[in-house]
Chain A
Amino acid sequence: MDAWSPFFSSDHFMPHGHCYLWEPGLLSLHIISDALIAAAYFSIPFTLLYFIRRRTDLVFRWIYLCFAVFIVACGFTHLMEIWVVWNPAYWWSGGIKAVTAAASVSTAVMLVKLVPDALSLPGPALLRQANHALAEEVSIRMSAEAEVRLLNGQLAQRVSDRVSELEEVNRRLEVEMAERRRGDEARARLAAIIESSDDAIISKTLEGIITSWNPAAERIFGYSAAESIGRPIMMLVPPEREDEEHAILRRITRGEKVEHFETIRVAKDGRKIEISVTISAVRDADDRIVGISKIARDISARRGAETKLRESEERFSTVFHHTQVAMTLSRLSDGVMVQANEEWARLSGFSLSEALGRSVVDLGFVKPETGEENRAELRSSGVVAPAESRVRARGGEERIVLASRKVVQIGGEPHVLASMHDITERKQAEVALRRSREEFKDLFDNAPIGYHEVGPDGRLVRINQAELKMLGYSAGELLGQFVWKIGADEQLSRDAVLGKLAGNPPPAAFERELRRKDGSVFPVMIEDRIVRNEAGKIAGIRAIVQDITDRRTAEESIHRMNEDLERRVRERTAQLEDANREMEAFSYSVSHDLRAPLRAVDGFSQAALEDYGPTLPPEGRHQLTTIRESAQRMGELIDDLLAFSRLSRQTLRKRSVDTDALVRTVLAELLERTAGRRIETKLGELPACEGDPALLRQAWINLISNALKYTRRRDVSTVEIGCFEKEGQDVYFVRDNGTGFDMRYANKLFGVFQRLHRAEEYEGTGVGLAIVHRVVQRHGGRVWAEAAPDRGATFFFTLEPETKT
C-alpha cells in the first residue's frame, strides 16, 4: 500500500504550473494546445472504425486497430499534461506515457514489417490497365475460333481416309505377327531352358570367342555374361589343359564329334572346378559349322558328396571295428557271416579272415540248436532280446555272453546284426560272490563262536546258530527283542548297549555274564564293533560272543595251581634258605674253627724249631718242617674251598664290565710276581660284557695265573688273550704255550680239587678252574679247553646262554 502511495500522493512534488510560473499566457498556450491535440486524437479512432466497417475487402485490418490504440493513448498523455499543471501526479502521467510508448513502438515495428506486403498490393490504376488488355484478347480469340471451326471440317475428312489406310496396314501386320509369334515361342522356350539350366551352356565361335553365357555359367565360373561374352574361352582353361581345348576346337572344326568328358576348369576366383562337358557343333541353315556350343556340368559337388559318403562309411566302420561290443553281421537266410568286428575276433579267438564267409554254427561258436532257435525267433519277430548264452571260443574255452540279435535290411536282403558283451568275468565274480556269501553264511551259522548284530534301537537284527545254541533260544524268540534281554544283569547290559549306540564308550572286548532261556548264567567274552551307515552315524553294533565257561574253569584251575605252586616255592625257598644258612654256619665254622688248630700245629712246630731246633737231630727238624708244610697246605685248601663255596652263595651283581681294562689290570698285577721270566703277552680286542665284576675278575685271575704257572718252564712264555665271535656270542680265550694236558682228562679239568699235574711239578689246590667254571656257569655261559701235552692249552669261555631261542 505504502509502495503505491507515491503514485497517488502529490505531497512531494510541485504542480507543473510552477514550471510555467503560473503565467496565464504560457499556461493557456499549453492547456489549449494539449486539449485540442487530445480532442483530435480521440476523434481519429472513430473515423478509423467507421472506415474498417465499410471496407470489408480491406487487408491488414489489425494495423488500423493498432493505430487506433496508439492514437487514443497519445490523447490520454495530452490530457495528463493538462491535469499535472495543477496536480503533481507525475507517476500517473509517466505511466500513461509508458503505455503510449509501448503502443506506438509496437505499431511502428509492425508497420515496417508490413511494408513489403503493402507494396505488392495493386493499386486501382494498375487494375484498370489489366482489364483493358483482357478485353482486347477476348475479341482476338473469338475471331480465331471461327477460323478453327472451318479447318475442323476439312480435317475430319482427312482423318477418316487415314484410318481406313491404317486398318489395311494393321490387318497385314497381324498376319505377319501370328507367323512371327510361332517362331518366337520356340526360341523363347529354348532360351528359358538355357536360362534355367543348372548346367553352364556356353557358345563360342570357331576361334574360341564366347558368344553366349547363361546364368548357370555365371554361377559356376563366377563371370557375368557381360564379362565373358566376346572374350576367349581360354580364360576358363587352366594352362596345363590348353592343349586339350585346342584339340577339341580342332576336332569340332573337322566335323568330328566330341564325346562327353570330364575335365577341370578355372573359375573367376581361381578355384579349380571339376566339370563334365558335352560339346557339339553349331551349324547354320546351310549346315556349315559356324560355332561351338558347350554344356558344362559342375561335378565338384558330386565328388564332395562321394567323399563324405566314404568318410561316413569309414567312421561307421571304425566304430564297428573298435567298439567294445562284439558284433557280427550275417545273412538271415543261411547264417553266413558277412562282417564281424575285432572285439568279436578277440572274444571268439577266430581271425576275421577264417570266420567271414562261414556261419557261427559252422565255426562251433554257437551250438547248432541255439543257432536254429535264434534264427527261428528272428524270422518270426525280427529280434532276439538280450539274453545270456554260452559260446565256445576257438580253443574250446566256454565264454558267457550277453547277446542280442536283430534283423536289419542290407541291400534289400535281411541280415542279422548280433551284438555280444563278454560277461564271463562278471559271471565268475558273481559265482565267487555267491560262494563267498554262502561261505559267510555257513561260517555265520556254524562258527563255534556266537555272533549277533543289534540295530540302532538296541534290538537284535541277526543272531547266529552258535549263539542261539549257547543261549538255548530259537531265532524267532530273540530277533526283534532288545539285546539286553540275554544279559544276566539286564540293567547293566542295557546301559552299556545304549551308551555304545550313543557313541560312548568306544567298542572293546569285555567279559559279561549272559542268561540262558532256562535261567542259568554263564560267562562270555564279547568283542563288539560299531556299525556306521554311509553318513557315518551309528547304525548298530556287531558283536562276537564267546562262551568262556571252560576258560574260566581253566583259569580258576590255573589260579589254584599257581597258588599251590607259589606255596611250594615258598616252602622250598624256606628250605633252601635254611640249607643256605646251615651252609653258611658250616663254612663259618670251617673258616674259623678248622684254621685255629692248623695255626696251632704250624705255630707250635715253629716254636719247637725255634726253641729246640739246635738240640734236635736233623731228622726231627725235617719232620717238624713237614708238619708245618702240611698244616699250611691244609690252610690253603680250606681257604680255597671257602672261597669256592662263597662263590656259589654270593649273589650275582651284574653290570657292564670293561673287559679290556679288567684284563689289563689283572695281567699287570700277575706279571709283577713273575720277575725274571721272559713272557710275551698278546692282547686281542676284548669287548665289554655284562657280568659281576668281582667274580669275573677272579675268573680272569685264575685263568691268566694258570697260563703263567704252566708256561714257567718255557724259555719264553707266551700268553695270548683275546675274543672272537661264534654263533652270535663273544668267546673269550686265554692261550698259552705251556705244559698243556691230555685231552682225555679234560673232563676232570673243572672239578673241585681235581688236578692234572703233580703238586711237585705245579703247586695248587685244584680249585682255580673250578672257580672259573662256577663263575662262568653263574653267568649262564660255558667254559671249555683245548690242549695237548706239552703243546700248550687254550681256555675258552662265554658269558651268555648258548642259544637264546
Chain B
Amino acid sequence: MTQTNIIELLLVEDNPQDLELALRALRKVNLCNHIEVARDGAEALDFIFCEGPHAGRKISEGPKVILLDLKLPKIDGLEVLKRIKGDPRTRTIPVVVLTSSKEQRDIVESYQLGVNSYIVKPVNFDGFTNAMRDLGVYWLMLNQPPRL
C-alpha cells in the first residue's frame, strides 16, 4: 500500500541523545520506517514546505504526523508550529509537540496555535518508550487524516 518514498513521520529534534532514544523507542514499536528527522526548525520548515534540499518534494505528500520539539536552534518549535498551522496547505497535518517543557505557557501557546497533541517527555525511558509507541499507533494507524 504505502510507497517507500512517502514520509509518514517527521521527527524534529535537536538533542542527539533524545533523537537516538526516540528512534530507539520508535524502532521498538516498529515505527522506524518512513521517518524523516530534522535537527532544527529551519530544516523542518524546508522539509515541510519543500524548499532547499527538499525542493523536489510535493507539499501534498506531507508526513502523516510531525513530532516537534519546542526548544530548537535557529527557528524554535512554536514558530514552526505557527507556520504549519498558518498555511492552508499544511494546516491539516497533525502536529504533536514532544518536549521536556511542562511550562503552562508553552502548553497554552501550542494549543492556541493549533497543536493536535502535547506530550511531555518523561525522564523515565520506559515511560518515554510507551509514549512514543502510543502516539505512533494513534497517529499513524488509528487516526484518519483528511485526503488532500
Task: Give the B-binding residues of A (Cβ under 8 A).
Answer: 587-588, 591-593, 595-600, 602-607, 628, 631-632, 634-636, 639, 642, 646
Contact B104 A635 (CB under 8 A): no
Q: How many A-B residue pairs have CB under 8 A?
A: 65
Interface hit among B87-95, B120-128, B140-148? B120-128
Question: Which residues of B from 76 to 116 have beta carbons under 8 Å from A?
Answer: 99-104
B1-55 contacts to A, CB under 8 A, are 15, 17-18, 21, 24
Interface centre among A596, A600, A635 (most CB of B within 10 A): A596
- Residues of chain B within 8 A of A592, CB atoms compared: 70-71, 99-101
Interface of A is mostly: helix
- Which of the residues A596, A600, A628, A642 comes within 8 Å of B102, measured between beta carbons? A642
Q: Is the CB of A596 within 8 A of B18?
A: yes
CB distance from B108 to the nearest CB of A (A): 13
- Decide if A607 touches B21 in the complex (CB within 8 Å): yes
Besides A600-B21, A604-B17, A635-B124, 14 other A-B contacts (C-beta < 8 A): A587-B103, A592-B100, A593-B100, A596-B15, A596-B18, A599-B21, A599-B100, A600-B15, A602-B124, A604-B21, A606-B126, A607-B125, A632-B124, A634-B123
Nearest B residue to A588 via CB reads B103
- The 7 A-B pairs with the shortest beta carbon distances in the complex, nearest first, are A635-B123, A600-B17, A603-B21, A603-B125, A606-B125, A595-B100, A592-B100
* A–B pairs, 15, beta carbons within 8 Å: A588-B101, A591-B101, A591-B103, A592-B99, A592-B101, A593-B100, A595-B100, A596-B100, A599-B121, A600-B17, A600-B21, A604-B17, A606-B126, A642-B102, A646-B103
B128 CB contact (under 8 Å) in A597, A599, A605: A599
Contacts of B122 in A (CB 8 A): 599, 635
Chain A residues, Cβ within 8 Å of B99: 592
Q: Roughly how many angstroms separate A372 CA and B121 CA in the complex, as a whole number?
A: 123
CB-CB under 8 A from B121, the residues of chain A are 595, 599
A636–B102 CA distance with the chains assembled, in angstroms: 13
The SS class assigned to the B binding surface is: loop
Closest chain A residue to B102, Cβ basis? A591
Residue of A nearest to B123 (CB): A635
Q: Which residue of A lies closest to B25 (CB)?
A: A603
CB-CB < 8 A to B71: which residues of A?
A: 592-593
Residues of A within 8 A of B124 (CB): 602, 632, 635
Q: With both chains docked as a complex, state the minimum distance between the C-beta of A639 and any C-beta of chain B, in angstroms.
A: 7
Chain B 52-86 interface mask (CB, 8 Å, partner A; 1/0): 00000000000000000011000000000000000
CB distance from B145 to the nearest CB of A (A): 29
Q: Among A587, A593, A607, A646, which residue has its beta carbon within 8 angstroms of that of B24? A: A607
Q: A634: nearest residue on chain B (CB-CB)?
A: B123
Chain A contacts of B125 at CB under 8 A? 599, 602-603, 605-607, 628
B104 contacts which chain A residues (CB < 8 A)? Answer: 646
The complex places the Cα of A520 from the Cα of B110 at a distance, in Å, of: 70
Question: Measured between C-beta atoms, what is the minimum distance from B110 to chain A in Å?
Answer: 14
Contact B21 A631 (CB under 8 A): no
State in angstroms the CA–CA spacing of A713 and B146 once bound together.
55
Quote the shortest CB–CB distance from A790 to chain B (angstroms).
34
List chain A residues, Cβ under 8 A from B126.
606
CA distance A600 to B71 in the complex (A): 16
Which residues of chain B come closer than 8 Å to A628, judged between CB atoms?
Answer: 125
A593 to B100, CA, bound (A): 8
A736 to B101, CA, bound (A): 36
Closest to A596 in B: B15
CA of A394 to CA of B99, assembled, Å? 108
Given A595-B123, A631-B123, A600-B101 contact (CB < 8 Å): no
Q: For A604, what are the chain B residues with a Cβ–Cβ distance below 8 Å?
A: 17, 21
A600 / chain B contacts, CB cutoff of 8 Å: 15, 17-18, 21
CB distance from B12 to the nearest CB of A (A): 15
Question: In the bound complex, what is the Cα–Cα distance between A802 and B71 (angstroms)?
Answer: 45
Q: A592-B71, A592-B99 are in contact. Are A602 and B123 (CB under 8 A)?
A: yes
